[in-house]
Structures are given as C-alpha cells and as structure tokens.
Amino acid sequence: MKSLPLRSITRFIWSLLRFFPYLLPFLLVGDTLLTVPVGPGLPVNGINPKMCVHTRLTDEVEPWKIRQTLQLAREMGVHQIVEYFPWAYMEPAPGHYNWTHADLVLAHARGQGLRVIARIGLVPAWARPPKTLDSYLNEEHFGDFAAFAAAFAARYGDTLSALVVWNEPNLRHEWGGRAPDPVAYTSLLCQTYVAVKTVSPNLPVLGGALAPTIAPPGNPQAITDLSYLNAIYRAGVSCCWDGLAAHAYGRTASAEKPPAAGAVDFRRVELLHQAMIAHGDSEKQIWITEGGWNDHPRWTQAVLPGQRIAYTITAYDMVWHRWPWAATFCPWVFRYPRPTYTYQDNFTFVDVDFTPKPIYWDVRAYAHGERVP
C-alpha cells in the first residue's frame, strides 16, 4: 500500500513559495491597478448650455462606474451635474474629514469636462440626538454644518458651479421628522452662507431645493413651496443666498401646462420666480436641481415613455430659450448604482448596467442638434 511521504508535501509547499516573488509586485500595486485614469478635461458638445442632470454617485464605489456614468452623461450633452455629498460620510467625527469619495467623483467630473452643483446634507450621528432621523439638526449644531460647508467649499470651491444647502426643507421628513421651520432654515442658510463666502467668495450658495407640494395650511407633513419661500423671505433670506434651488416635477402634466398655485407641474417654478420678483430678488436665478417625469407603465403619477421623452426635451428647451431667470434644469436621475425595483427606476436615463434607455438616445439627439423621432 502506498503512503503519502511528508517530504513530498514539503516539496509541494516549497514549490508554491517559489512563485511568491512573481506575485509580490501585484500585491504591492494591486490597489493602484483598481484605479481608473481620470484623463484630460474633455469638451462637452451639447448645444444647450443649461442642460444638466442629477447623478447618483453617492453609493457608487467602483471608480470605473463613476467614470462611465459621467462619460455617458457628457456624451448625452449635459454641461453640468448635480451630485449629493453627505456630511455624515465626509465628517464621521467632529473635525475629521474623509474626502476620498468626493475627490474621486469631482476628479472624474473634471475629467469629463462637467461642472458640478454640490448638494450637501445628511447629519452625522455625532451632531444629533440618538434615535433621530439623519435629517435632524438642532440650532446648536448649525455652526458645525456651516464649518463643514466651509471646509468643503475651501477644498472644492474652484471646481463647483454652486453649493445647495440642504434638501427639501419644506417637508417634515427632510427636516428631521419635525414640522418644517422656515425661520430655523433661514438661520442655518445664513450661517452657512457667511462661512462659505469667507473661504470661497465666488461660489454661488443656493438655498431651498424646495419640494413642490400643495399641502393645505396646517398640514404637519409639509409647507407648500410658495408659502415656505415667502416665509424665508420674511425671515431675511435675501442676504443669505445667491439663488434658489427648486424641484420641478411634471407628474402627469405636460411641460407646457400653465402653472397654478393648486397644482404640481413643471412650470410651477414660474410661480416661485414671481414670488422672488415680488420680494425684490429678481436678479437671482432659480436652479432646477431635480425634476422631470416618470414613465412607469402603471403608476398613476407617471406619463407614457414617449411623453416623458417629449416633455423632457421641451423642458430643456424651455429653460434655455424662454426662462432667462432659470440657471439650469437637472432632471432626476441619470442612473442608480443598483436597481430599486420600484417606480423610481423609471426616472432614470441609463440602466444600472449602463445600457442607455430610449430617452437617453433621444435627449442626446436633441442635445446634438439632431432630429428627434
């Protein structure tokens, strides 16, 4: 009967170890091999300078996916993007910053020749009481947020086209699960504005990112965008911002449908513009940092896919040619890092696997001055 000699085992292990020197270089530079070259700043060829799109790179880990997303956005013809930079991710402990992901996203955006509107928010656990929502921020921590915004602006101010302070503060769940408070928000915005301007005087600071709502007065869930805007003006917002960020969702209405105070549609932002004029703030622009249409086949708040394409192109064109007071239109959302398996997937232009949807090709054709079918 044969036996397994110990010497053979030792020899086998030794022969494996002989390959180690060949593996060593790969082990040492493995991390470098995973990085993706940023490349030179590429030109954007879209004809409409106000074309923009909201990307969703927050939870996108792999560099090549970040670059691929931004490359497809550039090729679609947008000149800038809106991207979310969560405070909680970047300042995990007071005064300790982690800029790794933001560096990556902004480097690739520069490489693709895209300007970036940065939206900041999401409160770290250390800046709020336990068991509160991550949108909960007390007045005592407004200074911490302002300091973070200033650190962010100091690092990236030259490469950003604007900074959006908070998101949809007129909604309860975006204001820490408390009743929306326009006076407190104005205080937060003013503190942030002063801090950012100290380090980056040319970076536009935007307030709001107001959600379009028609909630009745006294509704605990929301204050209408129009009422909220009037309230922050009364609280003195004029001196604390360079423009208003607003969301413009069309829901089931066409892009052309005239606005009305009691309806949510794309042109509702015209009412916000009128309110700004009424408050003597006509010089400042509205930046539409979210919006657009959804084409889920069964959702009652969706439109047909062809309508979505037509409305989106009309909206881009309207903002460019007819709305000098609007700085940009950035529909939600270019691509998700992973499928949501809900109607949210029907807001995207490109699938998770980077397959462009028909809307991508038609918007791209429009942006390059070609005939849209």
Partner 1 sequence: MKPLPYRTYSLLLAGLLSMLALWAAGIPRLKMAFAPDPTWQRVRMTGIWRVGLDPSFPPLTMLDEKGKPDGVEVRLLRRVAAKMRVRLQITALSSDALYPALWSGQVDSIIGGLPFDPLLTRDVCYSHSYLDGGLLLLWPEKQPQPTLSLAGLRVAVIWGGEGDRYLRDTLRRGSHLVPKRYLTSREALTAVQSGQADAAILDAITAYTQAGKYGLRWREPPLQSLPYHIAMPVGAHHLQAAVNGVLKQLPPQWYLPLFAEFGQRQSCKGE
Interface with partner 1 (CB under 8 A): 1-6, 295-301, 304-309, 338-339, 341-344, 355, 357-359, 361-362, 373
**How many degrees, rounded to 5, is the angle at CA 155 between CA 154 and CA 161?**
80
Cis peptide before 38 (omega within 30 of 0): no
Nearer Cβ to partner 1 (62/158): 62
Nearer Cβ to partner 1 (111/121): 121
Query: Phi and psi at residue 187, in whole multiples of 5°?
Result: -65, -45
Nearer Cβ to partner 1 (14/341): 341
What's the rounded Cα separation, in Å, for the pair 122 and 230?
A: 25
Nearer Cβ to partner 1 (119/308): 308
Output the smallest distance, CB 192 to partner 1, in A: 28
Q: What is the dihedral of CA 176, 182, 187, 193, to 10 degrees?
A: 90
Output the smallest distance, CB 78 to partner 1, in A: 19
What's the rounded Cα separation, in Å, for the pair 98 and 101?
A: 8
State both tokens at 308.
Answer: 């979505």
Nearer Cβ to partner 1 (52/309): 309
Nearer Cβ to partner 1 (20/341): 341
Output the smallest distance, CB 214 to partner 1, in A: 16
Output the smallest distance, CB 86 to partner 1, in A: 18
Burial class (CB in 10 A: 0-12, 13-18, 19+), 288: buried
Output the smallest distance, CB 5 to partner 1, in A: 6
Output the smallest distance, CB 2 to partner 1, in A: 6
CA of 117: how far to CAs of 96, 108, 163, 331, in Å? Answer: 24, 14, 6, 13
CA of 367: how far to CAs of 45, 162, 317, 322, in Å? Answer: 8, 23, 10, 17
